[in-house]
Amino acid sequence: MGDRKTNWPLTVFLLIVSAPILIMYLWLFIDSISEINVESIWPKEFTLRNWRFLVQDIPGHGSVWTATRNTTIFAASVVTIVVALSSTAGYALSRLKFPYRAQFLGFVLLLHSFPSVTLIISLFLMLRMVGLYDTLIGVILVKAALELPFGIWIMKGFYDTVPWEIEMAGLQDGASRFQVWHKLVLPQIMPGIAALAIFSFMAGWSEFVLPLILAPSSEARLLSVYLAGLMIDDYLSDFGLFKAVGLFYVVPVMIFYLFTQDKLMNIYGGGTKG
């Protein structure tokens, strides 16, 4: 077991079951820059025709740039809110003593595993009642709030790993609790904040259901809704176009993934553990 050799049957088996994923994402790239061939999946010839959406609007679907701008604003705002509120609340829950702390913690943990998508109907009705329906700000607030229990829980976990001795030493040296947090503890958990920021950005960038329901109009439309709109348009059934838009949409995520794979592995797997 110390030195593993390639077990060919096992490797071949895994290659076969992984084939759909590999093929799908390979052809996402291939088809976006080739003339679709009707008889075969092999590309006919190179073309940039599928990328025409970058310079001209697709009839009935508005500009991809508006959607891109909205998506960027959306994801960046979600990151800002989630990181700011999680890093403070997470610290309080991990390190500060205050009444009902245990109850707060239990509550965060409960919400963390609670499936927030079940709230979509009442969120829709509430936003309409207060006039935030179909605005970018409304859907940003909802998304950030729904990500918060997860963010707080993750940040609490990162704070828990900072040795208490650092804080005790800081207090002995005359710093206030706030200074201890700001000057001593926060720098220790920068990797954690980075991981949470990346995770929230990707969650925001990819979000589909919330904007679909809470901000469907073209001014507030996100890329996910834009692409979904193309796909259900009966006048378009052009996988070359879909894939070009899809690739345009997924590239930031893939770049993030390539550079932060290990961090994300931790948070995807570990985020749900205690």
Partner 1 sequence: MEIRLENFSKSFGPVKVIEDMDLTIGDCEMVALLGPSGCGKTTTLYAVCGIHRVTSGRIWFGDKDVTDLPPQKKNVGVVFQSFALYPHLSVFENIAFPLRIRKDGSAEIERLVKEMAGVLHMEELLDRRPGQLSGGQQQRVALARALVRQPDVLLMDEPLANLDAGLRLEMRSEIRRIQRENGCTSILVTHDQVEAMSMCDRIALMNDGKIQQIGTPDEMYQQPRNRFVAGFIGNPPISFCDGVIQDHRFVTEGLDFDLPDRFEAASITAGQKVTIGVRPEYVRPEFAVPIEGEITFVESQGREVLYDLTLAGGKVFRSIQGGGPKFKIGENVRWGIDIGATFFFDERGNRI
Partner 2 sequence: MRGRRSLLPVWFMLPASVAVTVFFVIPVFMTFVFSFTSMSSDTGILGNRYIVTEATIRELTERGVDADLVKRLGSRVFAFDQAGLAAVGKSGLKPPVVKEIEEKLAGAVFGSEKELFAALKSLKNRPRSFRDRKAVSKAVVNTIVNREFRTATGFRAGLASINVEVDDATFDRLLGLVNTSWSWTTKNYVELLASDFTLKILANTMFYVFFTLIFNVGFALVLALATFYMPSGQSKFFRAVWLIPRISPSVIYVMLWKWFTFDSGFMSYFLGTFGVAPENWLNEYPWTFVIFANGFVGASMGMIIFASAVLAIPRDVLHAAEVDGAYPWQQVRRVILPMMAWPILFVTSYQTLSLLTSFEYILLLTDGGPGFFTTETWALNAYHTALSNYYGNLRYGFGATLAVVLVVVGIALSLLYLRLFDFKALVAEPPIES
Q: With binding defined as CB under 8 A, does residue 10 bind partner 1?
A: no
Q: What is the nearest approach in angstroms of partner 2 to the Cβ of residue 189?
A: 15
The residue from 76, 80, 177, 186 that contacts partner 2 (CB under 8 A) is 177
The residue from 54, 73, 85, 186 that contacts partner 2 (CB under 8 A) is 85
Q: With binding defined as CB under 8 A, does residue 4 bind partner 1?
A: no
Q: With binding defined as CB under 8 A, does residue 29 bind partner 2?
A: no
Q: What is the nearest approach in angstroms of partner 1 to the Cβ of residue 2?
A: 6
Q: What is the nearest approach in angstroms of partner 2 to the Cβ of residue 112?
A: 8
Q: With binding defined as CB under 8 A, does residue 128 bind partner 2?
A: yes
Q: What is the nearest approach in angstroms of partner 1 to the Cβ of residue 157?
A: 25
Q: Supply angle C-alpha 86, 87, 88, rounded to 5.
A: 90
Q: With binding defined as CB under 8 A, does residue 32 bind partner 2?
A: no
Secondary structure of the chain in the HEC alphabet? CCCCCCCHHHHHHHHHHHHHHHHHHHHHHHHHCECCCCCCCCCCCECCHHHHHHCCCECCCECHHHHHHHHHHHHHHHHHHHHHHHHHHHHHHHHCCCCCHHHHHHHHHHHHHCCHHHHHHHHHHHHHHHCCCCCHHHHHHHHHHHHHHHHHHHHHHHHHCCCHHHHHHHHHCCCCHHHHHHHHHHHHCHHHHHHHHHHHHHHHHHCCHHHHHHCCCCCCCCHHHHHHHHHCCCCCCCHHHHHHHHHHHHHHHHHHHHHHHHHHHHHHHHCCCC
Q: What is the nearest approach in angstroms of partner 2 to the Cβ of residue 219?
A: 20
Q: What is the nearest approach in angstroms of partner 2 to the Cβ of residue 59?
A: 20
The residue from 78, 123, 185, 244 that contacts partner 2 (CB under 8 A) is 123
The residue from 136, 185, 243, 244 that contacts partner 2 (CB under 8 A) is 243
Q: With binding defined as CB under 8 A, does residue 3 bind partner 1?
A: yes
Q: With binding defined as CB under 8 A, does residue 21 bind partner 2?
A: yes
Q: With binding defined as CB under 8 A, does residue 251 bind partner 2?
A: no
Q: With binding defined as CB under 8 A, does residue 73 bind partner 2?
A: no
Q: With binding defined as CB under 8 A, does residue 172 bind partner 2?
A: no
- Residues forming contacts to partner 1 in the complex (CB under 8 A) are 1-3
